[in-house]
Structure 1
């Protein structure tokens, strides 16, 4: 991404590839630059990324109303073993994209389709964010290896591009239980759930993953907590309350991390209050059909 305000102002498309917890900070930085003519691509959005970006842009005094789209996930699974070298382990062949306003996604594909033929228009922003499978792959492994995060355990902390070494049967059980809970919330909202197996089949057809790659780290990156907790699990838990869908495992995982790191991701995360009840209701058919849910308070 261009670094100076002048360069950013001249760019017609700005791709924001940062961890999702930094979306608001980037919007604040760009508030004086973005115009109605810009296209902003959040790569990727997590739950409500475009909504958070738009609100932060307005709060920072931005006068422009750029077209904003977000992808369901990142296009590549990659890492940098050295400052001058990047390795990509996988290249997704399908990636859902949604806009914050009607027509934004279609406009984005008309501008980017030749460069990103993998992009496909998704249902809506809430469904796209809740169907992002990142937390399913990240959180169970992180919780199962909390002791590794603050200590040097040799090869366990050297790092790899994937979680294959860390996925035990017990962690797999935890991931399966979490996915059932997540899919239940999506269904309760009246949205279409996307199981991780279906996501993998669409995004990773044969030949799109490199199984043999050099190790580099860290494997258990803190961003798998600082991004996934506030931008995925916190909104999942809070939105689920609106449709009376229990999320005991999601709540337990948030509580465990909050206790272990002596923090409160519910204060910093994308809560119903921050996303806006009207925005959620506009994207959730079950809430639109239920005035009680729409008027629910935390």
Structure 2
């Protein structure tokens, strides 16, 4: 299958490697030509995983977006949520009918990007998909080398608009057999583990993160009190899912940490594998890291706004967002990715469900 992978981060490099080794024809696009120079020259990426270290040649590495996207059946975008608006504007002139755009994860970026495409006058009939996590536990060592320490075994995924689910899943599951169909894109957005796992880890570890040169939030930083906050925050996510009519499995974060319960997205024992390695023992810039800019400014703000829209109390999410706002010296409830800023807060649940099923254009023409 012809696949375009967009971005130069951990997930993008891992996706390019994984999909190439599965036999697909992968074109990897990155905007920053200087940082991408070694890959552009070699047309290959080095990977380190359980099979050892090896160079993997790509079908194409390019800084030309049209060249990457043209003729692709699937476009994989493992970029941070805060880049989605800009990426959608870049994609608008080059997209083609029938293409599936996969956001792993999406933070409800499927709706945001579809809205931007309409605003940009894009007439291509494309479909979005979003899931609950990156398909990989991965970290780049340098601009040509990525380490992959784990792969997702279950990827609950929703489609926007959901009436195109059959077409989208037919393409997606050729690339990712671990994808599990769920109801729609908001269902997929509310599977996103990032806004649940990362806000307590970075906010409650703010002292050591800013003091030490390196800090592993998943090892030393994961202590019983923080796990209690995880449970409370995840409980609020599940209440919101239930209020919207989404059925189990809800993929509770507890299953990631425990050997009991159902298999979580990265499989049983994934947390132990995560802390056994050293890839997450790293320097974090608290204000600029994607855990803040994506998982809090986008993901946690969205969760809080959904709770407000549904009149469901979310004291843990609201409190964490307030603490993050103090750290950032900005009102993240005001400026983040929210129902208000997505222009959805005036809708009823029925109106929202209609948009999720039929898309933006169909809803606005009625």
TM-score range, shorter chain: 0.7 to 0.9
Residue in structure 2 matched with residue 69 of structure 1 by the alignment? 129
Indicate whether 1:108 and 2:168 are aligned. Answer: yes
Structure 1 stretches lacking a partner, 5+ long: 286-298
Match of 2:331 in 1: 264
- Pair 53,213 (structure 1): closer, same or farther in 2 beyond 3 Å: same
Higher relative contact order (CA 8 A, sep 6+): 1
Contact conserved, 1:98 with 1:121, CA < 8 A, in 2? yes
Which residue, 117, 127, 140 being the options, matches 1:80? 140
Offset at residue 49 of structure 1 (A): 1.6
d(CA) in 1 for partners of 2:163, 2:242: 25
1:197-212 mapped onto 2 (5 Å cutoff): 197-198=254-255, 201-206=263-268, 210-211=273-274, 212=276
Question: 2:178 matched to which residue of 1?
Answer: 118
Query: Across the two proteins, how many residue pairs are aligned to each other?
Result: 279
CA contact (8 A) 1:124 1:283 kept: no
Q: 1:215-234 to 2 correspondence within 5 Å?
A: 215=279, 216-218=281-283, 222-234=289-301
Whole-angstrom distance in 1 between the partners of 2:351 and 2:255: 26
Higher strand share: 2
1:153 maps to 2:226: no
1:276 counterpart (344, 347, 351): 344
CA 1:109/1:127 → structure 2, altered by over 3 Å: closer, same or farther? closer
Contact 2:195–2:299 under 8 Å retained in 1: yes
Q: TM-score, normalised by structure 1?
A: 0.83
For residues 31-46 of structure 1, what are the structure 2 equivalents within 5 Å? 31-46=92-107
In structure 1, the residue corresponding to 2:247 is in which secondary structure?
A: coil
Matched residue SS, 2:263: helix
2:82 corresponds to: 21
Unpaired stretches in structure 2, ≥5 consecutive residues: 1-27, 30-62, 257-261, 355-366
**Greater share of helix:** 1
How large is the Cα RMSD of the aligned pairs?
2.5
CA–CA distance in 1 between the matches of 2:211 and 2:193? 28
**TM-score, normalised on structure 2?**
0.69
Aligned partners of 1:92 and 1:208 also within 8 Å: no
Q: Does the 8 A contact of 1:126 with 1:280 survive in 2? A: no
The answer for the alignment partner of 1:246 in structure 2 is: 313
* 1:183 equivalent in structure 2: 238
Q: Bigger CA drift: 79-88 or 21-30? A: 79-88
Single out whichever of 4-13 and 168-177 deviates more from structure 2: 4-13
- Which shifted more, 196-205 or 258-267? 196-205
Match of 1:166 among 221, 224, 238: 221
What secondary structure sits across from 2:84 in the alignment? Answer: helix
* Alpha-carbon contact 1:79-1:87 (below 8 Å) kept: yes
Pairwise CA distance, 1:109: 2.5
> Which string of whole-angstrom CA distances, capped at 9 and with x for unpartnered residues, describes residues 184-208 of structure 1?
2222333235122357714233476
Q: Give the corresponding residue for 1:11.
A: 72
Are the counterparts in 2 of residues 72 and 97 from structure 1 also a CA contact under 8 Å? yes
Q: Deviations over 1:198-243 (max 9, x none)?
A: 5771423347673532345235762111101232221211121232
1:161-182: CA deviations, max 9, x gaps? x612211122122212212222
CA contact (8 A) 1:79 1:88 kept: yes
Contact 2:110 2:160 survives alignment (8 Å):
yes
Query: What secondary structure is seen at the aligned counterpart in 1 of 2:222?
Result: coil
Structure 1 residue 112 displacement after superposition: 3.3
- Is 1:196 the equivalent of 2:256? no
